[in-house]
């Protein structure tokens, strides 16, 4: 009937049913996280760590992070751990200058020792390193790491015209001295979060410092007499951790743990208030008669005063005839407080990326396999952050120092033209003692014996350099021989030259070959 329109309608209906079946099948087989169901219909999402998201949320996150750094014991401990483990007693420079440009593989040891000595002289002197003459390089780096952890970033200005022997000094600047709300295009310059960037490469070109926001500097931060100044990127070190390829500003490292950390503090405070309230409620006295009763059971003024007096430990209560007393036993913190708070602490430690035991001091019965693994994972995190500091701060700083050093008289016969030959280097961060010394030393010994690891790698695990170890061992050996001592075996023990069995003191003992020694 109604041919041919009836056939077309049936074909269209069949096609629609097939499309719906395919759509339903694809929805079932697609990402579960992409489905919109009744339970998660109100789940809001954003674009991740885009500049729009970061720059709009940065002031709030940074201020909350600063508040927790002052008022939260766990967060203060986290910042302390980052300072101690990422920087600790400082980074060790290993200069690796080449013998010549044509032979970059050979190390000029004499020049390496000279560079390391002058770097140490500069880095250890607050008058050289700090424009404010307060901190040496290790102390300044520790403060920069604290700013990075708490504020999400740290800015270090290089002063290449410093009036000191090495011509270089540093200034650490607060993160909010660069206005993150400054997003515009001025005179063809693209500015995002107060940083001028190259629109093609996204590389920083210059930093715009706003002196009116420099809290703690006594009013306006000045640079060459200006309250807001454009400083080229080659003079600025920007320390932050990226979570997106185009990200230009950093967020506090503990951003994911701030909310549960605040909830933990508020919950603890509420339990303490409740416990104090309960502890201060001693009890209730019940009087059988009105206070103006005529006789008999009515207490006197002295009796009423005695009943109201505070009770001391071990004191008995005497009540007038007919009076009663109801006591109240404190029941806070409640029984679930300890388990719940520990659960929140574990959640916080995961968000911060540090070991629960190290963060809270709750060892939980000693070092188990899981605790050991957590400690090792935390140390790997510290190593990763050390690598970021070395790459973003120390490498640039060493090159700037080396250029300044080579251009000054203090470098002796070395010249700026030698920079390419002299610039190779490594920085070694602090290392830690073994979690299980006996087992791990034996494992390292076995690995070296089988060729799975090298002596240099094991020495680096201790924070040492194998070449320095060998030189020190030779120096000690020569000193022992000069003092009349000889090294026995592999150098782990020594004895006087006139000791029994030593050279120059023969005995009648026979060796395995039958010869007297």
**150-177 pLDDT per residue, tens:** 999 999 999 999 999 999 999 999 998 8
Q: Judge whether 301 lies within some domain.
A: no
The continuous run of DSSP H or E covering 303 comes out as helix 301-308
Distance CA 264, CA 75 (A): 11
Shortest CA distance to 58 belongs to which of 204, 240, 214, 232? 240
**Cα 89 from chain centroid?**
15
Span 275-316, pLDDT tens digits = 777 766 566 767 775 555 444 555 566 655 555 555 566 666
Q: What is the pLDDT of residues 495-514, one digit of tens each?
A: 444 444 444 444 444 444 44
Give 198's contacts (C-beta < 8 A, 6+ positions apart): 190, 204, 205
Which stretches within 124-227 are classed as H helix? 126-129, 137-151
Cβ count near 474 (within 10 Å) = 10
In a domain, 327, yes or no: no
pTM above 0.95, yes or no: no
State both tokens at 113: 């020792």
Could you give the number of structural domains in the chain?
1
Contact at 8 Å (CB) between 207 and 177? Answer: no
pLDDT at 141: 97
What is the pLDDT at residue 24?
A: 65
Tell me, yes or no, whether 155 lies in a domain: yes
How much is the average pLDDT of 199-206? Answer: 92
Examine residue 143 and state whether it is found in any structural domain, yes or no: yes
User: In angstroms, rounded to a whole number, what is the distance separating the alpha carbons of residues 297 and 319?
Assistant: 11
pLDDT for the residue numbered 329: 63
Q: Which among 395, 418, 394, 392 is positioned nearest to 405, based on CA atoms?
A: 418
Q: How far is the C-alpha of 7 from the C-alpha of 13, rounded, in Å?
A: 10
Q: Are 252 and 59 in contact (CB under 8 A)?
A: no
Tokens encoding 323: 């009076």
Q: Which uninterrupted H or E stretch holds 95?
A: strand 92-95
pLDDT band, very low/low/confident/very high, at 128 (cuts 50, 70, 90):
very high
Q: What angle do CA 208, 57, 396 make, to 5 degrees?
A: 40
From residue 198, alpha-carbon distances to 33, 185, 186, 205, 235 in Å are 36, 12, 13, 6, 16
pLDDT digits (tens, 9 = 90+) for 131-147: 999 999 999 999 999 99
For residue 297, being part of any structural domain is answered with no
Beta bridge partners of 425: 95
Virtual torsion, Cα 347, 348, 350, 351, nearest 10 deg: 120
- Of the pLDDT bands very low, low, confident and very high (cuts 50, 70, 90), residue 483 is confident
Structure tokens at 71: 């008022």
pLDDT at 446 over 80: yes
Give the model's confidence band at 340: pLDDT under 50 very low, under 70 low, under 90 confident, else very high.
confident
Asked if the structure places residue 175 within a domain, the reply is: yes
Q: What is the pLDDT of residues 9-57, one digit of tens each?
A: 677 777 777 777 666 665 555 677 777 777 777 777 777 888 889 999 9
Q: Rounded to the nearest 5°, which phi and psi values hold at 459?
A: -60, -40
Within-domain flag for 11: no
Give the structural domain span for 382.
49-279+338-361+368-432
Strands (DSSP E) along 368-473, which ranges? 425-428
Confidence of residue 203 (pLDDT cuts 50, 70, 90): very high
* Least confident segment among 234-243, 268-277, 309-318: 309-318
The chain-wide mean pLDDT, for the chain, equals: 81
Predicted confidence band at 336 (pLDDT cuts at 50, 70, 90)?
confident
* Beta-carbon contacts of residue 34 (< 8 Å; ≥ 6 apart): none
Say what the alpha-carbon torsion angle 308, 314, 320, 322 is, to the nearest 10 degrees. Answer: 100
pLDDT at 204 (0 to 100): 95
pLDDT of residue 215 exceeding 80, the answer is: no
Domain contains 34:
no
Give backbone dihedrals phi and psi of 153, rounded to 5 degrees, phi first.
-165, 160
More confident residue, 58 or 492: 58
């Amino acid at each position: 009937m109604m041919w041919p329109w009836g056939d077309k309608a049936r074909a269209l209906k069949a096609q629609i049913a097939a499309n719906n079946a395919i759509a339903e099948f694809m929805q079932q087989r697609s990402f579960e996280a992409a489905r919109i169901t009744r339970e998660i219909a109100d789940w809001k999402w954003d674009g991740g760590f885009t500049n729009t998201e970061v720059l709009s949320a940065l002031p709030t996150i940074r201020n909350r992070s600063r508040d927790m750094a002052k008022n939260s014991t766990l967060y203060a401990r986290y910042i302390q751990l980052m300072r101690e483990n990422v920087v600790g007693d400082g980074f060790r420079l290993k200069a690796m200058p080449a013998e010549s440009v044509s032979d970059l593989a050979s190390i000029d040891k004499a020049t390496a020792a000279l560079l390391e000595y002058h770097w140490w002289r500069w880095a250890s002197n607050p008058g050289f390193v700090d424009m404010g003459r307060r901190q040496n390089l290790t102390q300044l780096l520790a403060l920069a790491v604290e700013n990075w952890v708490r504020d999400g970033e740290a800015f270090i200005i290089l002063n290449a015209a410093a009036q000191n022997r090495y011509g270089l000094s540093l200034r650490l600047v607060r993160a909010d001295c660069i206005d993150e709300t400054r997003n515009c295009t001025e005179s063809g310059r693209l500015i995002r979060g107060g940083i001028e960037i190259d629109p093609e490469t996204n590389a920083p070109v210059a930093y715009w410092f706003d002196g009116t926001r420099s809290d703690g500097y006594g009013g306006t931060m000045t640079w060459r007499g200006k309250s807001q100044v454009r400083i080229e990127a080659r003079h600025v070190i920007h320390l932050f951790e990226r979570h997106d390829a185009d990200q230009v500003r950093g967020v506090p490292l503990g951003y994911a743990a701030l909310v549960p950390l605040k909830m933990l503090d508020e919950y603890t405070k509420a339990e303490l208030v409740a416990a104090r309230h309960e502890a201060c409620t001693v009890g209730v006295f019940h009087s059988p008669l009105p206070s103006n009763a005529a006789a008999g059971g009515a207490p006197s003024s002295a009796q009423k005063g005695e009943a109201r007096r505070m009770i001391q430990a071990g004191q008995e209560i005497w009540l007038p005839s007919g009076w009663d007393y109801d006591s109240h036993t404190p029941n806070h913190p409640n029984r679930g407080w300890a388990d719940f708070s520990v659960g929140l602490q574990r959640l916080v430690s995961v968000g911060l990326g540090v070991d629960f035991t190290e963060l809270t001091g709750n060892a939980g019965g000693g070092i188990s396999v899981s605790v050991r693994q957590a400690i090792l994972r935390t140390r790997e995190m510290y190593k990763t952050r050390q690598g970021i500091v070395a790459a973003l701060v120390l490498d640039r700083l060493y090159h700037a120092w080396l250029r300044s050093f080579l251009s000054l008289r203090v470098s002796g016969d070395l010249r700026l033209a030698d920079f390419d030959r002299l610039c190779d280097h490594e920085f070694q961060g602090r290392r830690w003692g073994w979690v299980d010394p006996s087992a791990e030393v034996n494992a390292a010994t076995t690995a070296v014996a089988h060729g799975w690891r090298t002596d240099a790698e094991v020495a680096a695990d201790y924070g040492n350099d194998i070449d320095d170890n060998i030189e020190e061992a030779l120096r000690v050996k020569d000193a022992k021989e000069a003092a009349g001592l000889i090294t026995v075996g592999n150098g782990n023990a020594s004895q006087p030259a006139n000791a029994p069995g030593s050279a120059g003191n023969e005995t009648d003992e026979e060796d395995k070959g039958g010869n007297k020694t």
